[in-house]
Amino acid sequence: MFDLAELERAHAIVGAAMPPTPAHVWPLLSDRLGAAALVKHENHAPTGAFKVRGGLVYVERMKRERPQTAGVISATRGNHGQSLAFAARRYGVPATLYVPHGNSAEKNQAMRAFGARLVEYGRDFQAAREEAERRAGLEGFEFVPSFHPDLVTGVATYALELSRQAPDLDLLYVPIGQGSGICGCILARDLLGLSTEIVGVQSTEAPSYALSFAAGAVVSTNSSDTLADGLATRVPDPDALAIIRRGASRIAEVTDAEIAGAIRAYWTDTHNLAEGAGAAALAAALQEKSKLRGKRVGLILSGGNIDLDLFKRWVMPEAADITGSRVPA
């Protein structure tokens, strides 16, 4: 999909807009996992998630090679949309974003704050995506899919940073939404000639990539009812699936309860807030901790954009306020 020189160019584009995100080994988290746990903190990116890297690379190329383009349009649950809104504002092009009804209120507000026009449509991401693609043809905007070579090249820059900092990782756990993150990790690892085992992570309530990985062909699902909205994919991208099947060892599945436990662990052990997809890698590693003793394990904390109401209801339902009374769930 890209070579090392192109990945380096993408890193320069990203680096002009944001510094490298940190990667830390956290002692309490390592004790909990029973292995040295190195966390790549994409929650520290300017939009709170890794996808900003892909948006920057995509829009930079579009502006340079297709300057006549009127604007960009896409569908999102939040982080992809924030990345496009951030990049579109940086490069001076309009952005229209479709989200399903009931989407994260705080992510919606963030996309608007970055300057995007937001449209609510449909019951889930797939419905919003189909309408956004239809509207692109009517409005003359360029439709930006959730998976595209420029997006993968951009998000692979976090894997480049991580791989150069820690080339000796035994395993790397990566959440899967539409697949750009794990594909970027696979391609960066292979370009650098490393031997790190890469494990994808999906929700048990949205297992389309896990089913497709096992079947060897795209398998769609009828629902994606996980609270981890960044994992809520019903229809895998065939190009992403091909890369994942070639370069990942397996796909682990985690429950919403396990993800909630991982969000709590990130907060107590590192004082970092993770959204559902951001905590999925840790949830999978904790599920498999008996296999990890003595290993050096990488965890992609892909984002930290979780609504406060969802956090209270899902992650901390037993939380109490400073007076000792229950916080409403």
Domains of the chain, start order: 4-50+149-315 (3.40.50.1100), 52-143 (3.40.50.1100)
> How do residues 291-307 score in pLDDT, each as one tens digit?
999 999 999 999 999 99
Residue 16 scores a pLDDT above 90: yes
Mean pLDDT, to the nearest integer, of 135-161?
95
> Is the pTM of the predicted complex or chain greater than 0.75?
yes
Amino acid 323: pLDDT:
34
Q: Give the pLDDT of residue 289.
A: 96
Residue 328 has pLDDT above 50, yes or no: no
Is residue 136 pLDDT above 80, yes or no?
yes
- What's the pLDDT score for residue 319? 55
| Mean pLDDT in residue range 232-260 | 96
Q: How confident is the model at residue 186 (pLDDT cuts 50, 70, 90)?
A: very high
Residue 3 has pLDDT above 90, yes or no: yes
Q: Per-residue confidence at 137, pLDDT binned at 50, 70, 90?
A: confident
The answer to whether the beta carbons of residues 270 and 278 sit under 8 Å apart is no
Beta bridge partners, 75, equal 98
Angle at 83 between CA 79 and CA 84, to 5 degrees: 120
User: What is the distance of C-alpha 35 from the center of its chain?
Assistant: 24
**For 28-42, what is the mean pLDDT?**
97
Mean per-residue pLDDT, 264-290: 97
- Is residue 179 predicted with pLDDT exceeding 60? yes
Contacts of 40 (CB under 8 A, 6+ apart): 21, 23, 158, 161, 162, 298, 299, 300, 301
Here the tokens at position 257 are: 């309860």
